[in-house]
Every structure is written in C-alpha cells, then in structure tokens.
Amino acid sequence: MLDGLQVEGRAGETVLSVARRRRVSIPTLCHHEAVSPSGACRLCVVEVFWGKRSKIVTSCIYTPYENDRIETNNDRVRSVRRFVLELLAARCPGVDQIRELALEYGVDMPRFEPDKDARNERCILCGLCVRVCDEVVGQHAIAFAGRGMERRVTSPFAEQAEECIGCAACVFVCPTGALHFEDVDGRRLMKELHTEVPMVACRECGLPYTSAKQIEKVKSRLRLSDEAAALCPPCRARAFGGRVERILAKDRKAAFPWEQSASFAFESAEALSGK
Amino acid sequence: MAIETIDTPRQLATVRSAARKVLLNGHPRISVGTATCGLATGAQKVLDALYACRAELQLGQSPIPISISETGCNGACFLEPLVDVVLPGQARITYGNVQPEDAAGLIEAACAGTVYGKRIIGRIDKEEFLVEGTSRNYRRGKLADEVKEVPRYAALPFFRDQVHLAMRNCGIIDPTSLDEYIAKGGYAAAAKALTEMTPDQVVDEVTRSGLRGRGGGGFPTGRKWATCRKAPGEPKFVICNADEGDPGAYMDRSVIEGDPHSVIEGMIIGSYAVGAHIGYIYVRQEYPLAVKRIRLALKQAEEAGLLGENIFCSGHSFTIRINRGAGAFVCGESTALMASLEGRVGEPRAKYIHTVEHGLWNMPSCLNNVETWNNVPVVIARGADWYASIGTQGSKGTKVFSLVGKANRVGLVEVPMGITLRQVVEDIGGGVPEGESLKAVQTGGPSGGCIPAELFDTPVDYESLTALGSMMGSGGMIVMDSRTCMVDVARYFLSFLKEESCGKCVPCREGTSRMLQILTRICEGKGRAGDIDLLHDIAQGMIDGSLCALGGSAPNPVLSTLKYFAEEYRAHIEERRCPAKVCRALITYSINPEVCTGCMLCLRACPVKAITGERKKPHIIDKLACTKCGLCADTCRSNAIEVA
C-alpha cells in the first residue's frame, strides 16, 4: 500500500523506485540510479506501518514486504524532511537548490546560528561523487576523509589524486555544484580535489577535449578504434557520421549490466568535450 | 607448563582434576590484581616487591613454597592495588590499597599461615566453582582466631548484594593460565554443548534462559542465534564486539583482562549453535592489556586443541581471529564494526536487512558483546532454568555495571537484574561524599540518560530504564552529586557524540553539532528564550531521521536532563545562573575576608596571578583576571573561597 493505493513492485525493488514509477514525488539529494544507495541525506524518508507499529525508513534503501503500508508525505515524514532541510540550509546557505527545497518544506530561515564560513560551503556530503568515481568510473580517486563535522570529500592526503582520469563525472553528479573543473592551457584543473590532469588535443581540430587517461579507460572498456578515440565528438560525428555513437551505445549495453551508469560516465565525457 | 592437547571431554576432566590439585595444593597463594585498574594504581610495583621478597626468602632457609601470580580485577577498583592471599587450610584474605612496603609483611604472614595485620578488606571461605555449582571450603580443621576476625565478603556492603556470574573468575584466577580456567570448570560447557547437545538444543537452551544482549540493545540472544542458524549462506561468522567505547564504562575490558577464556568458550558454543567456523574478536587498540591477554588465551586454546579442527572430536571446527579497532566510537555499532572488519571505513549502513542474515561480507553473522559471550558457558553449564531463576520477568541473569563518578566506592559491580538503582548507588556504591547530596545517575553511556535521585527505586532492567528515558546500554553508571550541573553534563555528552558521529547522515552529523552549539551557549549564559523548544525539535528530528542508533539515541542526554532537570535549564537561560556552580561563565570566585587567614596558599596556587594580598591579611581575587579554574578553592585550608 503506497499512500493508500495498492501497488505492486518487482522483487527487491525499493520504495523510491516504485514511487517514482507511479509518479509519487519523493525528494532526494544523495540518490542516483547509477550508483548504489547510501541513505545519507535522509530526505527520502517515508513512514512504513505494520499494524499499529510504524517506523521511519529511507525509501532509497527500504525494500517493502507484502502488506507494508507506506505513507510518503504524512506529517511525521514531512517534519523529518523539514528538519533535514533546515540543517542543510544552515550548513549551506549559499546553495539555491537547498534553499528552494527548504522553502517548499516551510523553512524560511534556519533557527541556528550561522557558521563563520557557511557562505562558501556548498558540499552537503551526499557522497554521490565518491560513489560515481568508485562504482561507475571505477577509479576510486576520491573519498571521504575525517569524521563528523570534519568530514569532507577529498583526494588522498589532499594532494594530486593519482587515480583521477579527469572525467569529471563527480562534477556532473554533484547536486549542489560543490565541485568544479576548469580547462586551462591543455590541463583540466579540479581545484576542490587538489588535482589537475593533462588533456589531449583532437587530431582533427586541435582543441583539447579529454585526458589521455580517460581515452585509455574508455578504450579498455569499449570497442573504440584508435581513429575514433583520437577525435573530439563533433569531429567524430563529422568523420563517422554517427556510426561510432551507435556502436558505443550497443557496447555500453553489452559491457555493463547497469546500462545507465555506463552511459552516465560516458555522457559526462561527451558533455565536456562539447565545450 | 606445556599444554596437553584436549581432544575429548574425558581428557578435559583429567586436565581439570590435575589443575584443581595444583590450585588447592596447600601452598600459600598470593595473587595481585594487575588489570588496567590495578596497574594504574601501582600494582606492578607491589607485584615486583612481592617477587623480590620471595626471592630473598628462598635464598634463606624457608621451606614453604609460595606461589605468586597475577589476576584480574574483582571489581573493587577503589581498593586497588588488591592482593589476595590464600592461607592453606584457612581462607582467602583480600588486602586493599596495598603498597610495595607491605610486600615483606604479606609474604611473612603468608608463610606463617596467618593474617597480615594491615590493609585487610575481607575474606572468602570457599573456592567457588560457579559453572559447576559447587564449592570447596578452604578451611581444614579450626579457623584461626585472627582469620575469624576478618569480615566475610558477604558482610561487606560493596560485595553483599553482588552476584558474580560474568565476573566469576575475575580477580580469582590467573588470566594467563589455561589450567586455572579449566580448574574452575572452564570449557566444560563447550564440551557439553559440542558433544552432548545438538546445535538446535544449544539455541533452545540459550533462548529459554532469557539471556539478552549485554551490549546495549538487549536483543534476545537465543532469537538472534536462531535467525542466524536458519539464515542461508556459507560461511557464517560469529563476532565478539569488544569495542567498548562509552566514557566511564570498562566492564568488557575487565572481563577480557581477567577471564579471556570465558569469552572464547562462549564463542565456541555460539559458533557451534549457528554453524560458523570463523570468529572475530573486534577489540579496541586502546586496550593493550586486553589485546595481549586475549591473544595469549587464543594461542593457548589453539595449542590445546580447543580451537581448530574437530573440537572435542565433535566434528565442529572453529578458529578465532583478532581485529583491533582504531578508536572510533561508532565502530561499536554492528554494521560499522563489520565494515571496519572488512577493511572499509567504519560507517554504519541501514539495517533493514539484519546482519544475522547479511552481515560480514554479506554473510550471516552473529555478533554479541563480550559480556554476552561470557555468560553463555554459564547458561549451558548450569542450564536455562537455573539461569532464568536470576533476574526479573523480562531481564534474566546479572549485569555488570561500572559504577563511577562521585560515588564513594567505585568499581565494577555485578548485580542481579531487577535490583534497584538505590541499592546499587547507595548500598554498594556507598552514596556520595558527606556534605553532598545524591543528584542523579547517568546510565547507558553517552546515548543513555540521567535518572534523578527521586526515581532511584526503579529496578534495573532493560524495560524500566528505557521507560525513564535512559537505557541499560553497555553498563556505564555515572553517579552525580549536587556539584554536578546537568546542563553541563548534557553538553559534555553531546560534545563526545559530535566528535564521534561518523558524519554520514545529516541528522546526526549536523544535529549533534547544533545541539552542542545551543547547549554551549546556555552554559555560557547566552541562552535564548526559544532554546528549549529548539532542543526538543532537534531531538525529535534526530530520533526519527538518523541512520543508526548513535544518532537516534544521541538526544537522550539532552532529553532526559530536560525532562528531570528543567529548572536548571531555566536558571541558566532566564537568570543566567548555574545552580550547581559549575558553568564558568556564570560563576564568580571571591574570598570571604572574615574567614581568610592570609596564608598565601591560594595566591601561590593561582596560575594567572589573579589573587593579591599580604601575609596574615585577607586576600582579594581580581574578578576580571580570574579564569575560574578553582585551584584556589582546592588549596584553601579554611574554606574561605566562595563561589557564587
């Protein structure tokens, strides 16, 4: 039962997935279909009832049992979400996405004393960047360091991340714009991650479009010819007329069971090269 | 002594009777409590002095062999260093607060078969074999008069109401000796379980005993084992949680230091019951002695064949590995502990799928805490009915508490469930120092709550403590008197929890931090009108919203003090006053000129030179310079320093 309606889910399917299929909106910040759920932001909470007992669970992880009665938007659920958003709004007052969500839940001004450098804080520690790098890209270049309020996303020892291939999937998945990259003089700079990666230029047009490490990574996973790999997407489209893209799409499906995740990493690269 | 291999229950019995003969061999036996609490008060020096005296004596003509050994802590930490002397044919005499200077006298008295005249605490008349339910009198013939004069343990208020099951061997046996553990009936329960019972019978016995998890949650142990046994998947694991992290709680440390084999035996029985062949002991690195003792015990058990292949010829194989925790409080949480065991960062995950089904490396894992494992051999050896006869309806057996704080007698106390808080704090703990009044007791560690003195008639069991807004927890019991500010206590615990929150989920990470922010400003006299409501709101959000139990129970110290000591919060916020005179921003130190003798002690003690004055004339404190450290009040002999 989802909000009073009898619904059916696939075996092992989460509440969030069922709800989204039925167009029931549940807010999330740390969830992405491409990576494993974490349950860290606590925004997607719902209340599950078994008879008279009930419990707050995170819908991104909880897989319901038969006869579970789930409410996705009752007072208790909304008050947890409001609380989480109030905390996040106090942590990151400069992030519009958070402020808008918070307003939606009736949080105008957080009741907490502002922190000194809260203005500059954009990271909510959802961990999507870390999970994308681990699970989709497979590089494990970044991770959490520190505990509690000291927790932060960073490269090992806050130095150049040797494993980083500069794909910037972390930047694209970040829901609050806490990570950035900048391509300057043939190098991709990722200042929050203390890392820069040299880029290679397109053989055709001469513009830097990706890093050598990323080409290697992509080639190790997909059947991509050297000629195709040496071109930036616009030049590639001109040269191969979309044929390569179709092969890629097919390969992606074959190479990874989680189709979306593969395409995700790839799209990030493509989006970059489009610039 | 070389350890023989023990392959059958019969061989165990042979080793046992041989070891028991040594134990009761008629020599004087001296044992020194060298658990961490003993060592901290100088037990090593006492032990060294005893060895030296014995060596000297044996150079001469003394014909009497004396055995000197180390032992764990019997719980009376306030009397450390403790020395026990078994006088053959008489009794076991305990001496407390022993100094190295006493060594010669102790040895002499032991050789002469008499009582050393000083530092006497009490005597035990019988050697108890608790797991067998038997005992042996030390006395042969008539008891000497001077021994008779030593009070029995049963007459000592600290021990009178205690029942030692978990601590059955602590402070009695040498924890480095497998023989002594076996002599006391050790490994008999494992032999019984593995050779006479089916795994289902073991699970059933534990279930019927009513044993519940001693680590905090109080989950029925038998039910946990049954689920793990039924869970599909191989291999299965049993895990001992020895990551005791609550401030002021140290019973698990003491059990491992004093009786490491009991934990191993419990795990052997558990592994047989659930069908696991690998066990882990997750012990914190900050317990070096415990690590050393458990490591030695494992080695001994392996050499004796009590761990390894085909234990007791039962076909059951089981090995244990040790993992040391690196000091994160959250790693006491089961899922975080397992993550840490796997070599990942110790962070919890949602427990919608229980660890008994998908735990360590996604395999069925049965995790219990040290004290739970330690209780298992007793349950099996004495039977579920006997075990269930101790305690209350819902909480069976005993529980070890570490009674610390402002109590007169601090230490580890093991009491039957259902005893009242008053009995623990006032009868056993001896209340608080004269002139102060008992105010509250904090149970359950940082996630527990403060229970006010008015409610001290509450029985100590899982349900009653939870109903009061506190919890049993792992067994910390911090006594507070009128000198304790409850807002400050809440602030302290929140600062601990804020430090220890792993930071994964928002409510716990940000919530503990915001709570601490508010409590700090209240303690600084900057509390605001809406602060109490705000604390309540944060608490509710954290309870509902947090990922794991650390965050979910983190508001307890605040909620329980708000509930029982609301007046103190009000005084801080509205009157800018700390009734217990603890919060520095809200108190001032001054010298009563009528009482001050002008001795200049405080003047010299003041680290910031805020006190001025001449000899024999009243001194004055410069209130602006004063940092309110309280050193002057501590040094003043005439009580002239006043705090307002």
Asked if the Cβ–Cβ distance from A147 to B328 is below 8 Å, we say: yes
Q: Which of A69, A103, A125 is the last residue of a domain?
A: A125
Q: Over 70: is that where the pLDDT of A275 sits? A: no
CA distances (Å), origin B2, targets A170, B177, B257, B614: 60, 11, 22, 72
Q: What is the sign of the dihedral through the CA atoms of B92, B93, B94 and B97?
A: negative
Q: Is the minimum CB–CB distance between A62 and chain B shorter than 8 Å? A: yes
* Domain annotation covers residue A137: no
pLDDT at position A253: 55
3-state SS record for B439-495: EEEEECHHHCEEEEHHHCCCECCHHHHHHCCCCCCCCEEEEEECCCCHHHHHHHHHH
* Domain annotation covers residue A150: no
Q: What number is the average pLDDT over the span B235-256?
A: 94
pLDDT at position B518: 97
pTM of the predicted structure, to 2 decimals: 0.90
What's the CATH code of the domain at A14?
A: 3.10.20.740
For A31-35, A119-123, A161-165, B296-300, which range has the lowest pLDDT when averaged over its residues?
A119-123
Asked if the Cβ–Cβ distance from A42 to B345 is below 8 Å, we say: no
Q: Is the minimum CB–CB distance between B88 and chain A shorter than 8 Å? A: no
Q: Is the minimum CB–CB distance between B538 and chain A shorter than 8 Å? A: yes
Tokens 């904090």 found at: B442
Structure-model confidence comparison of residues A258 and A157, the more confident one: A157
Question: Are residues A4 and A121 both part of a single domain?
Answer: yes
User: pLDDT grade, residue A221 (50/70/90)?
Assistant: confident
> For chain A, what is the mean pLDDT?
86
Q: Over 50: is that where the pLDDT of A257 sits? A: no
Element (H, E) at B107: helix B103-112
Q: Is the minimum CB–CB distance between B513 and chain A shorter than 8 Å? A: yes
* Domain annotation covers residue A253: yes
Q: How far apart are CA B590 and CA B612, in angstroms?
A: 12
Residue A175: both structure tokens together: 């829901």
Q: Over 90: is that where the pLDDT of B211 sits? A: yes
Structurally, what CATH architecture does the domain formed by B398-481 represent?
Answer: Roll (3.10)
Q: Which chain A residue has the Cα nearest residue B515?
A: A112
Domain coverage including residue A24 = 1-125
Question: Are residues A72 and A192 both part of a single domain?
Answer: no
Q: Over 70: is that where the pLDDT of A268 sits? A: no
Q: Which chain B residue has the Cα nearest residue A14?
A: B352
pLDDT at position A234: 84
Element (H, E) at B87: strand B83-87
Could you read off the pLDDT of B48-64 as tens digits, one per residue?
A: 999 999 888 776 665 67
Q: Which chain A residue has the Cα nearest residue B347?
A: A147
B588-643 folds as Alpha-Beta Plaits (3.30.70)
Q: How far apart are CA B543 and CA B546, in angstroms?
A: 6
3-state SS, residue A232: coil
Asked if the Cβ–Cβ distance from A147 to B499 is below 8 Å, we say: yes
ipTM above 0.85, yes or no: yes
CB A76 within 8 A of CB A56: yes
Could you read off the pLDDT of A80-89 as tens digits, one per residue?
A: 999 999 999 9
Q: Residues of chain B with pLDDT > 70: what percent?
A: 99
pLDDT at position B63: 64
Q: What number is the average pLDDT over the span B544-550?
A: 93
Q: How far apart are CA B601 and CA B619, in angstroms?
A: 10
Closest CB to A45 among B499, B534, B545: B545
Q: What number is the average pLDDT over the span A191-215?
A: 90
Q: What is the DSSP string of A52-97?
A: TEEEEEETTT--PPTT-EEESSSHHHHHHHHHHHHHHHHH-TT-HH
Q: Which chain B residue has the Cα nearest residue A82?
A: B541
Could you read off the pLDDT of B503-518 as tens digits, one per residue?
A: 999 999 999 999 999 9
> For chain B, what is the mean pLDDT?
93
* Domain annotation covers residue A147: no
Q: Is the minimum CB–CB distance between A112 and chain B shorter than 8 Å? A: yes
Closest CB to B534 among A111, A146, A151: A111
Element (H, E) at B553: helix B549-553
Q: How far apart are CA B396 and CA B35, in angstroms?
A: 28
Q: Over 60: is that where the pLDDT of A259 sits? A: no
For residue B590, which of B551, B633, B559 has the smallest C-alpha distance? B633
Q: Is the minimum CB–CB distance between B146 and chain A shorter than 8 Å? A: no
Q: Over 50: is that where the pLDDT of A240 sits? A: yes
Q: What are phi and psi of B241, to 5 degrees?
A: -90, 105
Residue B495 C-alpha from the chain's centroid: 22
* Domain annotation covers residue A8: yes
Question: Are residues A11 and A75 both part of a single domain?
Answer: yes
B486-574 folds as de novo design (two linked rop proteins) (1.20.1440)
Q: Over 60: is that where the pLDDT of B590 sits? A: yes
Closest CB to A113 among B352, B503, B517: B517
**CATH no. of B187-388:** 3.40.50.11540
Contacts of A151 in chain B (CB under 8 A): 502-504, 509
Cα distance from A140 to chain B (closest Cα, Å)?
A: 13
pLDDT at position A251: 62
Query: Given 3.90.1150.10, 3.40.50.1100, 3.40.30.10, 3.90.79.10, which CATH number is that of B9-160?
Result: 3.40.30.10
List chain B domain ranges: 9-160, 187-388, 398-481, 486-574, 588-643
Q: How many residues does chain B have?
A: 644
Q: How far apart are CA B545 and CA B542, in angstroms?
A: 5
Q: What number is the average pLDDT over the span B440-446?
A: 91
Interface test with A, best of B335, B352, B522, B535 (most A CBs within 10 A): B352
User: Where does residue B376 rank: exposed (0-12), middle (13-18), buried (19+ CB within 10 A)?
Assistant: buried
Cα distance from B544 to chain A (closest Cα, Å)?
A: 6
User: How many beta carbons lie within 10 A of that of residue B496, not counting itself?
Assistant: 20
For A219-223, B67-71, B110-114, B341-345, which range has the lowest pLDDT when averaged over its residues?
A219-223
CB B438 within 8 A of CB B484: no
pLDDT at position A272: 42
User: pLDDT grade, residue A113 (50/70/90)?
Assistant: confident
pLDDT at position A252: 58
pLDDT at position A264: 42
Q: Is the minimum CB–CB distance between B235 and chain A shorter than 8 Å? A: no
Q: How far apart are CA B122 and CA B109, in angstroms?
A: 16
3-state SS, residue B260: helix
Interface test with A, best of B351, B510, B542, B547 (most A CBs within 10 A): B510
Element (H, E) at A246: helix A243-255
Domain count, chain A: 2
Contacts of A41 in chain B (CB under 8 A): 505-506
Question: Are residues A121 and A169 both part of a single domain?
Answer: no
Question: Are residues A1 and A110 both part of a single domain?
Answer: yes
Q: Over 50: is that where the pLDDT of A270 sits? A: no
Residue A120 C-alpha from the chain's centroid: 21
Q: What number is the average pLDDT over the span B165-169?
A: 96
Contacts of B211 (CB under 8 A, 6+ apart): B220, B221, B222, B372, B375, B376, B379, B387, B396, B397
Question: Are residues A6 and A112 both part of a single domain?
Answer: yes
